[in-house]
């Protein structure tokens, strides 16, 4: 079992650039979650999908953030334009109930 | 949001049992108690979950107080690989919405 796959693992970009984070959930899972982890705020749920449909996006910080799930095997989290305060580790997780399975994260640095 | 309170850090010796406490005095009758852990540079990993009764699995045991206002995660024999941050999470209404607190950082000494 491949697990949840995230890409890239590391991303360094300049302020103002568009950033796209990618996630491939575990096959057969119908829930997909995006989290952000920072030292100040810990792990926060940003948005989650059920059967490719966004269910709760109340954790998305600003309109600069958007997430899509065009099919059951792929999701993106986009930040446009990026700002230094967006620097964090972003995790994707998937589930078909309990438990949630997390990827290894994307470490994002905005200079 | 249902709140949980955990000690910031704990220390254990290798091959000894570890009891990680969690207080959740505002828990409601339908709140599940979940435990996840996060090893360095990895995503969180499921440990165990329960509602009212004590639960056991291959990783750990979960002891839930009779009034459900607290719970304890028990690692029966700590190994160096168990050094991680352990999160106690309650899910209310929406079973999928996790609110991770600051967790307990467990250090295991050889």
Portion of chain A with pLDDT greater than 70, in percent: 99
Listing DSSP states for chain A in one string gives ----EEE-SEEEE-TT--EEEEEEPPTT--EEEEEEEETTTEEEEEEEEETTEEEE-TT--STTEEEEEEETTEEEEEESS--GGG-EEEEEEEESSS--EE---EEEEE-
Residue B71 pLDDT grade (very low, low, confident, very high; cuts 50, 70, 90): very high
* Distances, alpha carbon A44 to alpha carbons A25, A34, A36, A37, B24, in Å: 19, 9, 5, 6, 19
pLDDT tens per residue, range B22-43: 999 988 888 899 999 999 999 9
Per-residue pLDDT tens over the stretch A15-62 = 999 999 999 999 999 999 999 999 999 999 999 999 999 999 999 988
Tokens of A108: 């994002």
User: Average pLDDT for residues B60-86, to the nearest whole number?
Assistant: 96
Q: Which residues of A touch B87 (CB under 8 A)?
A: 43
In the three-class reduction of DSSP (H, G, I as helix; E, B as strand; rest coil), residue B81 is classed as: helix
Are A59 and A44 in contact by the 8 Å Cβ rule? The answer is: yes
Residues from chain B contacting residue A25 (CB–CB below 8 Å): none
Structural contact between residues B110 and B80, judged by C-beta atoms closer than 8 angstroms: yes
Q: How confident is the model at residue B2 (pLDDT cuts 50, 70, 90)?
A: low
Cα–Cα distances in angstroms (integers) from residue A26 to residues A18, A29, A52, A95, B15, in the given order: 27, 6, 13, 8, 34
**A3 in Cβ contact with A103 (< 8 Å):** yes
CB B7 within 8 A of CB B73: no
Share of chain B above pLDDT 70, in %: 97
What is the residue-averaged pLDDT of chain A?
95
Q: Which residue has the higher pLDDT, A57 or B93?
A: A57
Confirm or reject contact between A74 and chain B (CB < 8 A). Answer: no
CA–CA distance, B24 with B68 (Å, rounded to integer): 8
DSSP states along B12-27: EETTS-EEEEEE-TT-
The pLDDT, as a whole number, for residue A2 is 84
pLDDT category of residue B95 using cuts at 50, 70 and 90: confident
Q: Which helix (H) or strand (E) holds B107?
A: strand B104-109
**Tens of pLDDT along B4-26?**
999 999 999 999 999 999 999 98
**Nearest-CA neighbor of B24 among B5, B47, B46?**
B5
Radius of gyration of chain A (CA): 13
Nearest to A102 among B44, B96, B102 (CB): B44
**Which chain A residue's Cα is nearest to B101?**
A42
Q: What is the mean pLDDT of residues B38-61?
A: 94
Residue B1 has pLDDT above 60, yes or no: no
Our CA-based measurement puts residue A110 at a distance from the nearest CA of chain B, in whole angstroms, of: 19
Contacts of A98 in chain B (CB under 8 A): 34, 46, 49, 95
Q: Note whether B34 contacts A: Cβ–Cβ < 8 A.
A: yes
Residue B69 confidence (pLDDT): 93
Q: So what's the pLDDT on residue B93?
A: 61
B101 → closest Cβ in A42, A55, A93:
A42
């Amino acid at each position: 079992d491949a697990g949840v796959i995230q890409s890239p693992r590391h991303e360094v970009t300049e302020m103002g650039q568009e950033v796209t984070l990618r996630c491939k959930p575990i096959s057969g899972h119908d829930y997909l979650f995006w989290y952000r982890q920072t030292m100040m705020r810990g792990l926060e749920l940003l948005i989650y999908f059920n059967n490719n449909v966004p269910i709760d996006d109340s954790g998305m910080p600003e309109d600069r953030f958007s997430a899509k799930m065009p099919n059951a095997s792929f999701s993106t989290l986009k930040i446009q334009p990026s700002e230094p305060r967006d620097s964090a580790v972003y995790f994707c997780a998937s589930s078909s109930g309990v438990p949630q399975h997390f990827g290894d994260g994307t470490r994002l640095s905005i200079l | 949001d249902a709140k949980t309170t955990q000690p910031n850090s704990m220390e254990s010796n290798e091959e000894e049992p570890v009891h990680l406490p969690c207080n959740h005095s505002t828990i409601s009758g339908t709140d599940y108690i979940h435990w996840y852990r996060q090893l360095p540079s990895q995503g969180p990993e499921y440990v165990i979950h329960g509602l009212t009764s004590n639960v056991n699995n291959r990783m750990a045991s979960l002891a839930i107080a009779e009034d459900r206002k607290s719970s304890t995660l028990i690692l029966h024999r700590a190994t160096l690989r168990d050094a991680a941050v352990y999160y106690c999470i309650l899910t209310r209404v929406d079973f999928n919405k996790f609110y991770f607190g600051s967790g307990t950082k467990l250090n295991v000494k050889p």
